[in-house]
């Protein structure tokens, strides 16, 4: 899944832009509020909230913003958000999963469909591309946390399923239902992670050339610009040469 990892790196660099960062914080706040509203407002007693807070911290979201998002859930003035997953195809047949939180299903569906159409893709039915992905837990660590063998041993002890190590860092995969436990065990052994979250991991990929990647990024950028969209996942694959040209 080299392409998937590189896409994460591209998104990280984009996240340095102030406007993108403000939108990211807004989406992280929404996830925290929903998680707190669905369960206990104490992250230690609410696995989903704990993961949401951890991810927010990994993105350098201010502590005040996190606390405000949690309090909003218990204040009675928070919106009732519905979680929806959309599936479709982007340019060149790339599979796309869009995860959204919305207080207006019709608005979000219309916007997502329009965005696909305007950017060379098409929105499909639920399940149309989901079979090309697995729901997994993903824990990321920087390269300097240890060598591949050290991280692999820690991952095995923690109950993880697989590890990808490269000069960019280490990505540890586990069953989605085990993420909280695996992340906690890894933290005890390796320290604070860079990122801990649930993801859609591609099981099959579609290779793109430079033009294909540029078209795909245009679609993904447009989707992520929608305030209702929480995250976008694709199954692209690209060579190092193509990624370098981006």
Q: pLDDT tens across 190-229, in order?
A: 998 988 999 999 999 999 999 999 999 999 999 999 999 9
Given a cut of 60, is residue 9 above it in pLDDT?
Answer: no
Given a cut of 80, is residue 11 above it in pLDDT?
Answer: no
What integer pLDDT is reported at residue 2 of this predicted model?
44
Cα dihedral angle (123, 113, 243, 163), rounded to 10 degrees?
-60
The model's pTM: 0.83
Distance CA 189, CA 176 (A): 20
CATH numbers and ranges of domains, the chain: 2-74 (1.10.10.200), 82-130+204-245 (3.30.70.980), 132-202 (3.30.70.980)
What integer pLDDT is reported at residue 1 of this predicted model?
40
- Cβ atoms of residues 235 and 202 within 8 Å: yes
């Amino acid at each position: 899944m080299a392409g998937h990892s590189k896409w994460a790196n591209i998104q990280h660099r984009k996240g340095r832009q102030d406007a993108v960062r403000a939108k990211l914080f807004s989406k992280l706040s929404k996830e925290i509020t929903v998680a707190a509203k669905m369960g206990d407002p104490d992250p230690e007693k609410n696995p989903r909230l704990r993961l949401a807070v951890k991810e927010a911290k990994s993105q350098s979201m201010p502590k005040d913003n996190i606390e405000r998002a949690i309090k909003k859930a218990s204040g009675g003035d928070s919106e009732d958000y519905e979680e929806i997953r959309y599936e479709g195809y982007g340019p060149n047949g790339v599979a796309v999963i869009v995860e959204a939180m919305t207080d207006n299903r019709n608005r979000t569906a219309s916007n997502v469909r329009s965005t696909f159409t305007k950017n060379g893709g098409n929105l499909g039915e639920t399940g149309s591309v989901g079979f090309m992905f697995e729901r997994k837990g993903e824990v990321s660590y920087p390269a300097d946390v240890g060598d591949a063998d050290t991280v692999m041993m820690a991952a095995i002890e923690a109950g993880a399923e697989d590890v990808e190590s490269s000069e960019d860092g280490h990505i540890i995969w586990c069953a989605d239902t085990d993420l909280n436990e695996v992340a906690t065990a890894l933290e005890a052994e390796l320290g604070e992670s860079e990122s801990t979250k649930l993801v859609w991991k591609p099981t099959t990929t579609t290779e793109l050339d430079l033009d294909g990647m540029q078209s795909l990024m245009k679609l993904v950028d447009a989707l992520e610009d929608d305030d209702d969209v929480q995250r976008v996942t694709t199954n692209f694959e690209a060579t190092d040469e193509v990624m370098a040209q981006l």
